[in-house]
Structure 1
Amino acid sequence: MSFNLNEVALLLVVLVIGWLLGLMMSGRGKYRRLWQDEQAVHRSAIKERDARIEASHKRIAELERHSAAPIAVGATTTAAGVGHGRDDLSRISGVSQAQESALNEAGYHRYGQIAALNAEQEATLEARLGLKPGAIAHDDWRGQALALERGDSKPGLLSRLTGSH
């Protein structure tokens, strides 16, 4: 009986597959045990994560209970801004909450810092905030910040037009 080349190749493929299956089956459950061990480790990691999350939720609730002191009307800017060494920069016309966060990240926390900006710093901030060149000067952030620093309650177009700083 003679075999052609295709039959020999097919026989070799079948032998290799049989050999691989034999190796996998002869592990006496070794791979099953490894899989079960991995599942146990995963379950314990999930339990630990859930326990940490629950503990953090309890801590947050505890902190909220302790800091639930009533805040007087009108003191929100004082409690939120000045108490932490920051002014509410979003009171400047043209500054959004997101831009205020970006300003804080850039190191600008007080009205005086905005009022003291030079042209180079303005250009840098405009690039960082994604504003058009000259937008800070156009909206007069420096003038508004100066008015807010002095205590004017509503800086903006009306005070600039009337000259009442």
Structure 2
Amino acid sequence: MPAFTTTEWAILFLVLLLGWLLGLISRSGKKWRRLYESERDARAEEQREHEVALSAANARIAELERGRVAPAAAGAPLAGTATSTPDTLDLTHDDLTRIRGIGRSGERRLNAEGIYRYSDLVALTPAQEASLEHKLGADDGYIEQEQWREQAALLDAGRQDEHRARFG
């Protein structure tokens, strides 16, 4: 094996390094460019799909809002029942969790029973109250004990400060 000087080793190393770099550049430049362009195109297509889905959802929301506002604008009175029905439901609801004793799961169960607004709770008769307690699995007298109707009346009237002072 021939003996190399330090300068020859340095030159040999530089030539090998230069060859390796040229090989990488000449062989893989197009490959990485193609991969980048395909990834960029896929991302652009995904963004277009999201924009189409978003515009369709916004159009559906606008359609539902127009349908909700039309009966109210016509002056059609809502039925005076204690619970909302699909015919009288205006797709908005009050935050029933503001009432002490009602959490998120309780609100979902009340919604399943057709109670969406504070006025629905205020309008409950004692018989409906007892039936609701039974359906919710609550103890007898729980609604009266937690004063749901009183709390709902305050919140329905927009007296949040008084509600906060009395019920926390």
TM-score normalised to the size of structure 2? 0.47
Given the two structures, how large is their TM-score scaled by the length of structure 1?
A: 0.48
Which one has more relative contact order, counting CA pairs under 8 Å at least 6 apart?
2
